[in-house]
Structure 1
Amino acid sequence: MNHRQLPLLHAPGFITAPRLLFFLCHLFCLPTTAFAAGDPPSPPSKSLDEIVESLSTTPNHYLAELLQRAERERLWEKPVWQRLMHYKPTLLGGTESQVDGTDFFLSATGKRDPRAELRATLAGFFTHMEVPPNGLSPQCRFPARYFWLDSQLHFDPEQLPVQDCPKFNFFMDGIRPHGVTVVFPAEHPDSPSSMFGHTLLRLDRANQTSATRMLDYTVNFAAEAGDSSGVGYAINGLTGTFEGRFRVIPYYMKLREYAQMENRDIWEYRLKLSPEQTRFIAMHTWEMVPTYYDYYFFTENCAYHLLSLIEPALPERTLTDSFGSWVLPVDILRVLRRNDLVADVRYYPSRYRIIQARREYLDEKSEALALDIFNQGLENHDDRLQQFDAERQADILDLAYEYRRYAGIAGNSALNPALSDDERALLLARSRLGIVRGAPQVAAPQTSPDNGHLATRLGLGFGANDSGGFLQLDWRAVYHDWLDPLAGHSSSYALAFGSLAARYYGDTEQRKLRLRRLHVVRIDNMEPWDAFFRRVSWRVVTGIEGLTQSDDRQGFILRGGPGISIGTNDKHLLGYGLLEAELGAATAYADNARLAAGPAIGLMASPGQHWRLRLTASYLADARDRQQDSARLEAGLSWGGQARPSLRLSGGRYRLLDGWYNEAQLSLKIYF
């Protein structure tokens, strides 16, 4: 391996490399137990720390010379070394690497001692010791470290020979990195791992096109969750029990992993990185794939560690220090924008949007025929198809085929590259028409996800109900609700984690601050139902709520249920109906518990560019005590843009434990 000139393409017969690369990355970069039944490679009888101590003062030894020069330059304090090792300051004033795999460190104290790790790394470069988990020598296991230290110390190849690293060379030959693109599949509520969207890096080759980008390789960081799901999945993700690992796979294979990816728009952010910086990132990727981090959903997640992978190539930037208490995938897009690292943004519509665009070309009769062909086969409706002219036949067949592919993915949770008999028949009939037509043009949303409102929100409001006036202070950790500015967000999906509201009632006998609401999570998924997309809408909310109009009593609630939504194609008007059930627990309830059920309906609209309107009604009848019934008739109107606060007016008539009452409130919402 020539570390001074990073390899681009050495091996002949490159055509076979992409297929083998994915296999080799897993074979040589996973822990040893994944590919060998025996013990992992053994360390040398003498540790590198001991070698450093014994040779650091030995005259005329080249390692001693390198160590002395590294000491003079204090290289372990340089930003590149700190970022290659992923060191961060600790609360007690020390330093600790965020990497949790012990095989990443050559020094016994390397996780917390940058100087010791640098010295052990230099010593390791003189050896052919097998570094766990893949048994490569230090030069071949850590090429980015070697490359950077060589650039600082200018190794003499006569005294420190460059070792041949065929596996690493094959890796670099296969991906041929020339540029970097951050890929953002938009959020989708049907999977916990995609509720906030996702981010991954794509290592682009030179002269890439829209079509060939699918063959480039992606770097993805994700939790190794295994069979964990439900509550266990959430607990493990919150407590760092999962291992988070990088994986390198072709872009098209990564997209096939997601059944719901067919419903997710793709945004691609090409970065302003040179080919040299890109290759350095690829080298560091090679170093990171075999090891792991403790994975935390809201901090050390897919978004955060993709930035940590880029940082070594940008020593003048501090990207991962830009976050607060949590990191969302869209946040890294904003960080890249603020640091002027985004060259351009490209939008690729989901298959769902493409199907909807094809439907716009057809009238109701033609659309119904396409659906019948999908359900019953082309052979049963060929006579009906022949009644249309060739142009319209092409539109009908295109829609039937597109929907067939979509349904196949949704039903099998993966894309089968082989064509079914029905798909083959549709394509054959389509080809006979001799009409060449590309995919329909789907306009990109006016606002990209990173330009939407920020996720955390603080609100201050003044209102009044039948018991008097109040001031309300509310706070939401993340993410988006129905009356927030719509730009950059879905119009059929609302998600809030950590929503808190407290009120100060000034007109009551006992003036005090009282808890109005503490929702742990609230998810509203109102995807419209129609002849093609028969999606069940649903809602779930859990937490603590006030049980009276003056909030002098509170209780725990778990509420939710399924339903149906309908809306216009542009989703500027959306209506829903749900059948909800609620389980409550509070001392204010009879027998300290409540079980209720009833209907809920709502209408959401965007009457203007910056306006949002919501009308809702619900009634929950208690199964045992009708005095504990609750009801809500509410209207809300908001105004605001994506980069500024929003003003919100809401009011309605409500029923809680102390009966019916009226309420209205005006509030200001600030996003940060």
Structure 2
Amino acid sequence: MIRKHACTADSPPRLSLFSIMTAPMTTGGAMIGFIVGALFSVSAQATLPVPVAVLEADEETASTLNHETLIRNTELSTSDNDRQSIKSTAAASMLASWRQQAQADNLAQHTTWRRLLYFLDDNKNIFTKGKNKSLVSDSAFFLSTEGQYDSAAELDAMLMALSQALSQSHISSDSVLCRYPARVSFLAEALGIEHPNLKASCSELDEWMEMLAPEQLSIMFGQEYLDNPISAFAHTLLRIDSKASLADPSQVHHAYALNDTVDGNPDDNFLIFAIKAASGGYDNRIEIDPYPEKWANYLKKDERDTWTYQLDLTPAEVQQIMRHVWETKDLHIPYYFATDNCASEILRLIDVVRPQQRLLSQLPYAVIPSDVIQLLDNESLLTSTLYTPSDGTLRQAQLNKANEALQLGYATFTQDDINSIKSEQANVVSSISADKQSLVSFDIEASDNNPIDRQPLQRGHLGVGRQGDNSYIELGLRAGYHSMLDRPSGFPQFLDLEGAAATLRLYDTDSAKPNQPKSVVLQNATLIRGRSFNPVNSAKKGQTWGLNVEATRINDGSQPEGGSHLVASTALEYGKSWVFGTPTTDTGEMPPQLCYTFATGAVQGGRGINKGFRIGAGVNAGCRYQINNRLRAQAELQLPYWYHGSSDQQGVQSGYWQPISTIGLQYDIDRKQALRINASYEWQDRIVANDDVKLSYMRYF
């Protein structure tokens, strides 16, 4: 009977003095002593707390204590204070062991740990981040008051909070287990932590993960779209696939989109918006929306082709990325259009689970979406590719077939029929079903705009030329993006967008002659120059327009023998464009040849020119011709009329016409090298050096 109750602490044996006194006398004193000793031992076990001194072993011994034994001993205690004391002791023993291991492994400086805290050590943004400062300034993101500046302090605070959380019988929603699941997962793996509470339920987190059901991640690339300044340099987002959408990629309603974008003020005008977006004046915003809704904006609203690439990530890496998104999705972090944007955020997320690849550090200072795609491809992180034509591309494919039938004479189409095919209102063909639930497949070949195939965006050139009677050497550098003469593969058709470019000329001058240029001059410094072509005889919607903001060297035609001067210049263009020729078979590409005409207006100002300024208006007309896959030509005639204001000076004109004809020809040596010829002539008899001819070697990098 005593043996039975000895293993049941909550039912101690009930022995009485009568039972002892009436025990058989043959047992003698030994029997009485045994019974009294057993009574004392069992009673003491049931009523006295476990001595704390027994549990406060040295760190090496404490690290081997079984946590379940500690909890069971806690349950044996009848005192709440004693129970709390033992739990605190259990937390302290775990914390001591973790601290010792973390120090030995230098875990506070582990690349992954610092990336989880937004210490972007290998990011090259010199204006906003330092190596020893987290990008996040929100104190709620850190457990330590020094967390933004000290990853070791944040690690210790995290270990303390984790040891307390694992010692609790109830896990609250504000526990570190629920607030920082990615950090907890990393620490559990790094320190070998195993505990039932690691799998504790967190209602909000669990519901969020259940809604997304992440099984795989893909990166979606939406091509450049000049009619929206935010999307001028393309866009990327993550597609979150569930088991259903992964099994059948056409079932897009089972997928979600994770989009990092600028949280800008829609009431700000374009100039203010651009300045704030470029300088960190706005926060970034993480949006998680049903994938069809977000995808439809690209394919239907903007009519941009998309390319989707599945990322080569393990299921465990996908889960860890999504845990980290949970930790960071509500943070207020500055958005920088060129450096901390939709593309850099994707690389940062992958870097969290693939620290050895250091993706973000491999890109130049500016992070461009297409560069990210090429980097991921070079790192063998893309496993499959899906091309999805936009509504405009599908209409263009139909238009191509209709035009082909007309040319061959086996079909008859009226102009109304052609207009109906081109119209987005009359022709509602789309890659997304009407209910936005699934992807619709079409028998169409992919356009030649896969960003993996494009040449590098940065370009340098070395040229030799002659202007008038003076020879020169020209050096140029362009940060991005693409001109009409550049190799077209990998870009939207007729993309014409350049920025952050500068050109220097070194002249061999003759000082004995008047109006000679200086030995070294800044020929041009372009802030932004772009043209958006939406040909009227294509299926593309939108207008044809252009913008140019630069400092450039011009010839002043208002004065006799007018020389060249550097001026600040802003020009706007608005007009029409047309395509002609034979498009690539079975694609939605437009015909390869383009002609255009613009009405233009410009304002220029600078020292040296008459009155210090001039205002111009006129017409620009030109054509771009794709001779073959490697050779292109472009010719343009500019007919501006310039006005400087009234002048009483002898021989000085207030206004004048200054026509300029230009021609360019580029031959691609390979993907990264080309030769280019440029020639221009200014039809103005007051200018000393009317002609300019140049041969350049172009290097893309």
Distance 1:654 1:441, change over 3 A: farther
Please say if residues 396 and 540 of structure 2, whose CA atoms lie closer than 8 Å, have aligned partners that are also in contact: no
Q: Cα offset for 1:156?
A: 4.5
Q: 2:117 pairs with 51, 69, 85, which one?
A: 85
Q: Which residue of 2 aligns with 1:595?
A: 615
Distance 1:268 1:477, change over 3 A: same
Find the aligned partners of 1:600 and 1:170 in 2 and give their Cα distance: 59
Please say if residues 423 and 539 of structure 2, whose CA atoms lie closer than 8 Å, have aligned partners that are also in contact: no
Q: Which residue of 2 aligns with 1:17?
A: none
Distance 1:82 1:56, change over 3 A: farther
1:640 aligns to 2:677 (yes or no): no
Q: 2:522 pairs with 493, 511, 515, which one?
A: 515
Q: Cα offset for 1:245?
A: 2.5
Q: 1:662 pairs with 691, 695, 701, which one?
A: 691
Distance 1:598 1:241, change over 3 A: same
Note the 1:256-275 alignment, pairs <5 A. 256-257=296-297, 261-275=301-315
Q: Which residue of 1 aligns with 2:489?
A: 487
Task: Compute the RMSD of aligned alpha carbons.
Answer: 3.2
TM-score (norm 2): 0.75
1:239 aligns to 2:279 (yes or no): yes
TM-score (norm 1): 0.78
Distance 1:654 1:666, change over 3 A: same
Distance 1:594 1:57, change over 3 A: farther
Residue deviations 1:543-569 (CA, integer Å, cap 9, x gap):
111123997521111112200000035
Single out whichever of 446-455 and 172-181 deviates more from structure 2.
446-455
Q: Which residue of 2 aligns with 1:61?
A: 93
Q: Which residue of 2 aligns with 1:73?
A: 105
Amino acid at match of 1:168: L
Please say if residues 221 and 247 of structure 1, whose CA atoms lie closer than 8 Å, have aligned partners that are also in contact: yes
Q: Cα offset for 1:197?
A: 0.4
Q: Cα offset for 1:127?
A: 5.3
Find the aligned partners of 2:201 and 2:628 in 1 and give their Cα distance: 64
Q: Cα offset for 1:268?
A: 0.8
3-state SS of 1:563 partner: strand
Q: 2:413 pairs with 366, 390, 405, which one?
A: 366
Note the 1:191-340 alignment, pairs <5 A. 191-206=228-243, 207-227=246-266, 228-257=268-297, 261-340=301-380
Note the 1:401-440 alignment, pairs <5 A. 403-405=426-428, 440=442
Identity between Structure 1 and Structure 2 (%): 23
Find the aligned partners of 2:455 and 2:131 in 1 and give their Cα distance: 36
Residue deviations 1:85-137 (CA, integer Å, cap 9, x gap):
221349898522223433221111111211111111122235579xxxx9732
Please say if residues 466 and 661 of structure 1, whose CA atoms lie closer than 8 Å, have aligned partners that are also in contact: yes
3-state SS of 2:225 partner: coil
Residue deviations 1:249-276 (CA, integer Å, cap 9, x gap):
1111212445875420001111111112
Amino acid at match of 1:270: Q
Structure 1 stretches of 4+ moved >6 Å: 55-59, 90-93, 399-402
Distance 1:439 1:202, change over 3 A: closer
Q: 2:626 pairs with 606, 614, 619, which one?
A: 606
Q: Which residue of 2 aligns with 1:564?
A: 576
Unaligned runs of 5+ in 2: 1-86, 167-171, 407-411, 512-516, 557-561, 584-589, 646-652
Find the aligned partners of 2:469 and 2:88 in 1 and give their Cα distance: 79
Find the aligned partners of 2:281 and 2:375 in 1 and give their Cα distance: 28
Residue deviations 1:396-448 (CA, integer Å, cap 9, x gap):
7xx878744379x9xxxx99969xxxxxxxxxxxxxxxxxxx86422113462
1:123 aligns to 2:165 (yes or no): no
Please say if residues 56 and 67 of structure 1, whose CA atoms lie closer than 8 Å, have aligned partners that are also in contact: no
Distance 1:262 1:439, change over 3 A: farther
Q: Which residue of 2 aligns with 1:449?
A: 451
3-state SS of 1:608 partner: coil
Number of equivalent positions: 566
Q: 2:565 pairs with 553, 558, 578, which one?
A: 553
Find the aligned partners of 1:200 and 1:484 in 2 and give their Cα distance: 27
Q: 1:106 pairs with 143, 153, 157, which one?
A: 143
Unaligned runs of 5+ in 1: 1-54, 375-395, 419-437
Residue deviations 1:125-178 (CA, integer Å, cap 9, x gap):
35579xxxx9732211111111111112233527x6653201111122222222
Please say if residues 225 and 302 of structure 2, whose CA atoms lie closer than 8 Å, have aligned partners that are also in contact: no
3-state SS of 1:360 partner: helix
1:653 aligns to 2:681 (yes or no): yes
The structure with more radius of gyration: 2
Q: Which residue of 2 aligns with 1:157?
A: 195
Q: Which residue of 2 aligns with 1:166?
A: 203
3-state SS of 1:579 partner: strand
Find the aligned partners of 1:145 and 1:196 in 2 and give their Cα distance: 34
Please say if residues 262 and 352 of structure 1, whose CA atoms lie closer than 8 Å, have aligned partners that are also in contact: no
Distance 1:165 1:654, change over 3 A: same
Find the aligned partners of 1:341 and 1:400 in 2 and give their Cα distance: 39
Find the aligned partners of 1:542 and 1:156 in 2 and give their Cα distance: 61
Q: Which residue of 2 aligns with 1:530?
A: 537
Q: Cα offset for 1:61?
A: 3.5
3-state SS of 1:327 partner: coil
Q: Cα offset for 1:641?
A: 5.7
Single out whichever of 234-243 and 80-89 deviates more from structure 2.
80-89
Please say if residues 299 and 390 of structure 2, whose CA atoms lie closer than 8 Å, have aligned partners that are also in contact: no
